[in-house]
Structure 1
């Protein structure tokens, strides 16, 4: 089965839909926002406040590019990642 990529604006339900799809397809869900929080030990709003948007976007880009290398998975992109030309 191919990779499924979920994208949309913040709060549009990407993570919720991703969890449902992961359960139905038995594919792993890679939520890039969750990966950023796990990696940094901080919540997204805290990263923005403490490190700024540029640092957050850098982290987001790294996680998205890593997730897109995975085979047969469901990838939930952060709401702003689709605006990044490098992604």
Structure 2
């Protein structure tokens, strides 16, 4: 799943920096034992001039079909550079 997320974000947003972290271990005891919890830190020129909510929407659009199909929760830090 990590590699699929990386591929989708790279293809859609051409990041200069990209970090995808599986945070499932932080959610043990939750439904599915925390499976599908990820954090993305992404820096992309595509975010220039975009409000944070728009940046998040761009990330969600890139991984849309993975939501609820491998991704249960996704936290995002999206920056322009």
- Does the pair score TM above 0.5? no
Give the number of the structure whose residues are more often helix, by fraction.
1
Question: How high is the TM-score relative to the length of structure 1?
Answer: 0.34
Question: How high is the TM-score relative to the length of structure 2?
Answer: 0.35
